[in-house]
Amino acid sequence: MRSPEALAIQMGLDIPDFDRAGYYGADYGTMKPFHRVGSLLFLSGHVAQVGAEITHKGRLGADLTTAQGYAAARQTGLNLLGGIRQAVGSLDRVKGIIRTLNFVVCTPDYEDVHRVSSGLSDLLVEVFGTERGLGGRATIGVMALAGGVCFETWATVEVEG
């Protein structure tokens, strides 16, 4: 079994250190970044943000292309990896991605929300492999998210004791 930490370094992924920089979710209201129950890790919302800057603002089907949405979901995935590290110390402790719930800000007629979410799912598979990195997924098109972000995810992850 390959080490996700070693692979992330080899891939040159820019994963944020929320222990040092702080979890940006607090900027959006009162919440904690994660909650753990036994081997289940529940992560609060993650978005396409670097530091205090939202990287992809707008609405899919109007302001943003599917490719830009995919990139936003991938950036969100990097932040999700940072959230996992903050919660359990190492990506190597992940036993599996159980599910993600994804929200895509889009026009009413935009139908490629699933393609946008693949930016997140593809990254998780690249880092953890298919067996551990591919979980259940739902994607919902919505009218708005806080701060103008175009993509947000919640995740449930199984981790080692």
pLDDT at 22 over 90: no
Phi first, then psi, for residue 99 (nearest 5°) are: -165, 155
Q: Which own/partner contact pairs does 129-133 have at CB distance under 8 Å and 24+ positions apart?
A: 129/1, 129/2, 131/96, 132/4, 132/94, 132/95, 132/96, 132/97, 133/96, 133/97
pLDDT at 1 over 80: no
Q: What is the pLDDT of residues 107-117, one digit of tens each?
A: 999 999 999 99
The stretch 134-142 carries a mean pLDDT of: 98
